A and B are shown apart, each in its own frame.
Chain A
Amino acid sequence: MKYRILAAAAVLAAGSAFAQAPNDAQIAHIVVTANQVDIDAGKVAEKKGSSADVKAFAKQMVTDHTAVNKQATDLAKKLGVKPEDNPTSESLKKGGQDNVKKLNGLKGKEFDKAYVDQEVGYHQAVLDAIDKTLIPNAKNAELKALIEKVRPAIQGHLDHAKQIQSKLG
């Protein structure tokens, strides 16, 4: 399990390993991809989760991250920015697909634990990426403001996931 969390963290930390700092079009793409990865995992957990807490959390992730993506997509349109694919987005997508594949092979308590552990690691990694890569490099004030406003929601998801993690034991 642990390696997967580390993998997610490594992928997002790779954002800071950009040969050049990511531009706004790439940042917008990273934001949308990071949200989509969590929506995809949430959709699996809504169906396969065994505890009520896990199912409710998964539903919340789908709702919250879908809302953030709508905001990000609307802003990109308004600014005339076309989100641009980049290595960080690619790795995020690949990591997300691997995670979904792994989750699909699990069930019951094992599934719940794997999903929640992944969510804790993922949201921590997203927070780090927001602080170290996305906010420092975002040039457009509105894009930066959107990321800054989303940050406490990500922190909330992390705290919530940790609560469930400790209950699952």
Chain B
Amino acid sequence: MRLASPFVAAVAFAGAAALAAPAAKDTVVMDGVAYQPATITVKRGATVSFVNKDPYPHTVTSAGNFDSKEIAAGKTWKYTAKKAGRFDYICTLHPNMKGTLVVE
């Protein structure tokens, strides 16, 4: 029993560390027909990954700025943010899906 405690503590600590680990940097996940996080802020020149975890295609579309076109289920679209500013985007297939990319 004595040995159990440190072991349990170590496992608990490892678990907590895994939970606390931040989401991959500059990544937006599409899941449950939502962009997560809904707003992401990146440095100019950064490459943002949009990962589609839904079973259906989505798009990342900011009229006049950028458009991923269809990102199939399970696929990732990468966008290099060369222009600073605040860009609202939607999924043209599911227009209730809204996100914002802030490029500093």
Contact = CB atoms under 8 A, between A and B. Distances in A.
Nearest to A157: B94
A64 B95 CA distance: 14
Interface stretch (A13-21, A25-33, A67-75, A133-141): A67-75
Contacts of A71: 55
Given A153-B33, A156-B33, A67 B95 contact: no
Contacts of B34: 152
4 closest cross-chain pairs (CB), A and B: A156-B94, A152-B33, A67-B55, A64-B56
28 contacts: A60-B56, A60-B57, A63-B56, A63-B57, A64-B56, A67-B55, A67-B56, A67-B73, A68-B55, A71-B55, A149-B32, A152-B33, A152-B34, A152-B94, A152-B96, A153-B33, A153-B94, A155-B94, A155-B96, A156-B95, A156-B96, A156-B97, A157-B94, A159-B94, A159-B95, A159-B96, A160-B94, A163-B95
Given A60-B57, A149-B32, A153-B56, 19 more contacts: A60-B93, A63-B56, A67-B73, A68-B55, A68-B56, A152-B34, A152-B94, A152-B97, A153-B33, A153-B54, A155-B33, A155-B96, A156-B91, A156-B94, A156-B97, A157-B94, A159-B94, A159-B95, A160-B95
Contact of A70 (B55, B91, B97): B55
A68 B73 CA distance: 12
Contacts of A60: 56-57, 93
Dominant secondary structure at the B interface: loop
A136 to B, nearest CB: 20
Interface in B72-93: 73, 91-93
Q: B interface, how many residues as a size bin?
A: 10 to 19
B17 to A, nearest CB: 27
Interface in B24-73: 32-34, 54-57, 73
Contacts of B93: 60, 64, 156, 160
Interface of B: 32-34, 54-57, 73, 91-97
B48 to A, nearest CB: 22
Nearest to B72: A63
A71 to B, nearest CB: 6
B44 to A, nearest CB: 31
Nearest to B73: A67
